[in-house]
Amino acid sequence: MTARILDGNSISEQIKAELKTQVAQLSEQGVRPGLAAVLVGENPASQVYVRSKVRTCEQLGFFSEMITPPASTSTEELLAIVDELNRREDIDGILVQLPLPGQIDSKRILRAIDPAKDVDGFHPVNIGLLSMVRPSLVPCTPAGCMEILSRSGIEVAGKDAVVVGRSDIVGKPVAMLLTNANATVTICHSRTRDLAGVCRRADILIAAIGKAAMITPEMVNPDATVIDVGINRIDNRELFQSIFAGDAKREKQFAEKGSTLVGDVHPKVAEVCRAITPVPGGVGPMTIAMLMANTLKAAKMRRALTDHELVG
């Protein structure tokens, strides 16, 4: 059996097309959603992510601003930047790219963002609303996972869902979203007994543990839908061979670039499960799409606009 591929690229493009239409409707009312992206220092991976987000803003018609304080920035200096953005009327969403340099207290920074502009969905107020089934701005990657399931016609209510990973960014919020959608949810982690046995019970398996190819075929049941959140860069030849032996396409890529990407799910899982997200091209594109959706939602909430008022 070969799994159905849940294409995050095509779903994210569908979402962005819907957002672009709504942004055009907003602009007719003199409103342009605005996103400020704060990138401290010169982390190359973070620069790529932030530029991609800013580029997507431009494509959809958002206003965007990139703020790049130096790596030596202190917590107090960054708090001052956040405070100014909180007060700006042209900014609806504030994104502080993580990780931050070691001298900065990340939790203080995230707490300082106005919850109404917290488009990453990390503020304790927004996490609290999510836990109370009153979601406001939801963390982007978990929201993307749920959109993949919904737009792929995969039923969540009444299903057994297993989340491997308990991070504040993905594991815990996606577990809450699944619970809110009436799934029966188990969260697994490094102390879970018989992890393979627990995973095999899952109708929906979310892998967000941050370890390359950790979920193997014997851990997955044939009727499962697998959402692979992990993005791990492999540059070790021995590890590459243990995961991708016999895959000519990946062999060519590894030979040319010296590395390749793999999720938290072993590629051979696609041979045993019902449906799966690929890496790359699965959950990754959805994260940016949901960031844009949150920015538009924040713009509407701050102005007390409803979808009915937009189209009416």
Task: List the CATH number of the domain containing 182.
Answer: 3.40.50.720
CB 279 within 8 A of CB 243: no
Mark whether 265 and 209 lie in a shared domain. Answer: yes
pLDDT digit string, tens, across residues 260-296: 999 999 999 999 999 999 999 999 999 999 999 999 9
Mark whether 44 and 146 lie in a shared domain. Answer: no
Q: Would you say residue 304 has pLDDT above 90?
A: no
Mark whether 146 and 77 lie in a shared domain. Answer: no
Catalytic residue selected from 53, 117, 172, 297: 53
Banded model confidence at residue 76, pLDDT cuts 50, 70, 90: very high
Residue 310's pLDDT is 43
Q: Would you say residue 305 has pLDDT above 80?
A: no
Mean pLDDT confidence for 9-37: 96
Mark whether 106 and 204 lie in a shared domain. Answer: no
Q: Would you say residue 254 has pLDDT above 80?
A: yes
Residue 312's pLDDT is 31
Q: Is 53 a catalytic residue?
A: yes
Q: Residue 205 domain-assigned?
A: yes
CB 68 within 8 A of CB 39: yes
Lowest mean pLDDT: which of 140-154, 190-204, 244-258? 244-258
Catalytic residue selected from 92, 114, 118, 120: 120
Q: Residue 135 domain-assigned?
A: no
CB 163 within 8 A of CB 229: no
Last residue of a domain, one of 116, 132, 153: 116
Mark whether 112 and 148 lie in a shared domain. Answer: no
CA–CA separation, 209 and 152 (whole Å): 24
Mark whether 147 and 278 lie in a shared domain. Answer: yes
Q: In what order do the strands lie in the sheet with 184-188?
A: 4-5, 275-276, 225-228, 204-207, 160-164, 184-188
Mark whether 162 and 82 lie in a shared domain. Answer: no
Residue 308's pLDDT is 44
- Residue 75 structural domain: 32-116
Mean pLDDT confidence for 208-212: 95
Mark whether 150 and 281 lie in a shared domain. Answer: yes
Number of domains in the chain: 2
N-terminal to C-terminal alpha carbon distance within the chain: 48
Task: List the CATH number of the domain containing 52.
Answer: 3.40.50.10860
Residue 49's pLDDT is 87
β strands within the chain, DSSP E: 4-5, 34-38, 63-67, 93-96, 160-164, 184-188, 204-207, 225-228, 232-234, 260-262, 275-276
Residue 43's pLDDT is 86
Mark whether 112 and 144 lie in a shared domain. Answer: no
pLDDT digit string, tens, across residues 108-162: 999 999 999 999 999 999 999 999 999 899 999 999 999 999 999 999 999 999 9
Q: Residue 11 domain-assigned?
A: no
Q: What is the CA radius of gyration of the chain?
A: 20
Q: Residue 126 domain-assigned?
A: no
Q: Would you say residue 32 has pLDDT above 70?
A: yes
Percent of the chain at pLDDT exceeding 70 = 97
Residue 4's pLDDT is 97
CA–CA separation, 145 and 171 (whole Å): 11
Banded model confidence at residue 45, pLDDT cuts 50, 70, 90: confident
Is 221 in a helix, a strand, or coil? coil
Residue 306's pLDDT is 58
Q: Residue 24 domain-assigned?
A: no
Mark whether 36 and 112 lie in a shared domain. Answer: yes
Last residue of a domain, one of 116, 150, 185: 116
Catalytic residue selected from 97, 117, 297, 300: 97
Tokens read off for 76: 């107090």
Banded model confidence at residue 307, pLDDT cuts 50, 70, 90: low
Q: Residue 7 domain-assigned?
A: no
Mark whether 104 and 213 lie in a shared domain. Answer: no
Mean residue pLDDT across the chain:
94
Mark whether 256 and 154 lie in a shared domain. Answer: yes
Is 262 in a helix, a strand, or coil? strand
Q: Residue 179 domain-assigned?
A: yes
Q: Residue 66 domain-assigned?
A: yes
